[in-house]
A = this chain, B = another copy of it.
Amino acid sequence: MRVDGRSNDALRKIEIVPNYIIHPEGSVLISIGQTKVICNATIEDKVPPFMRGQKKGWITAEYSMLPRATPERTIREAARGKLTGRTMEIQRLIGRALRSVVDLTKMGERTIWIDCDVIQADGGTRTASITGAFVAMILAFQKAVERKQIAKIPVTAYLAATSVGVHPQHGPILDLCYAEDSTTNVDMNIVMTSRGEYIEIQGTGEEAPFSDDQLAQLIALAKKGIGQLIEAERQVIGDLLTGEKEGSKR
C-alpha cells in the first residue's frame, strides 16, 4: 500500500476554491492533497513586442514557491537574483499547455498572465499549477466576456495535468506525493485535453530507464486521473467552453 494508503490508480483529494484573491480577473486556490497553489490570472490589454500587430493574444505563465512551501527552506529566487532552471522549465510548460487549448485569434491583442504561487508543496506542484491555472484562466475569460472585451470564451477544450511514476515497490502509480516522488525511478508529467489528446508528455528515467510496457501503463493511469481532474474543473466552471458540446461527442 502507498505511503498515504491510496491505491496505485487513486488521485489525492482535489479542492478548487474559485475567486480566492480579490484583485485578479481570475483566481483559484487549488489543493491536490497537501499541495496548495494560488493561481491568479491577469488580463493585460497589450501583447509582448514579438506578438504585436498579429491580431492575436498571448498567454504566459510565471511560477514560484514560497521559501517554506518545502520541508527545508529554499532561497528566494528574488534574493538569488535569478530564476533556477527548474522554475523556467515549469513556467514555460504551463504557458505552452494553456496556449494549446486557446484560440489566440479570438482574444484580441491581449495577454493573460498566469501566476502560480505554491504556498505548500507535497509533490506534483507543476501539474497542480496547470490544472489550477486552467480554471483561473477560464474565470478571467468569463470576466472579459462580462466586460464585453470578448464575445465568448475562446477555449477549445478542458485541460488538466497529473504526474505518474514507476515506484520501486508499487510499480506504476498515479499522482505522486513528495515522499513517493523522491523514491521513484521514473517520473512523468502528462497534460491532456477533455478530448483525450496529449498536450505534453515529459517522462524521464534518470534513475532507471523504462520499457514500452511501463510507458503504456503510465499513460493509462494518467488518462484516468486527468478525467477526474477535468470533472473537478467542471464542478467549478460549469459547461461553458466554446465548441465543447461538439467536442464531447467525439
Contact = CB atoms under 8 A, between A and B. Distances in A.
A62 B69 contact: no
A57 B186 CA distance: 21
A24 B70 CA distance: 8
8 nearest A-B pairs in the assembled complex, by CB-CB distance: A197-B209, A85-B88, A77-B78, A40-B68, A24-B68, A78-B78, A42-B73, A201-B203
A21 B209 contact: no
Contact of A34 (B22, B203, B207, B208): B22
Copies in the complex: 6
Contact of A200 (B84, B92, B192, B204): B204
A83 B89 contact: no
Contact of A85 (B76, B92, B212): B92
Contacts of A219: 212
Interface in A205-247: 205-212, 215, 219
A119 B76 CA distance: 16
B206 A198 contact: no
Contact of A201 (B80, B84, B85, B202): B202
Contacts of A86: 92
10 contacts: A21-B68, A22-B120, A23-B70, A42-B67, A66-B117, A67-B115, A79-B83, A85-B85, A117-B119, A198-B210
Contacts of A204: 96, 199-200
Interface residues of A, number: 68
Given A66-B38, A68-B40, A73-B113, A199 B209 contact: yes
Contact of A198 (B82, B117, B205): B205
Contacts of A121: 23
A91 interface: yes
A66 B40 CA distance: 9
A21 to B, nearest CB: 5
A125 interface: no
Interface in A82-117: 82-89, 91-92, 96, 99-100, 113, 115, 117
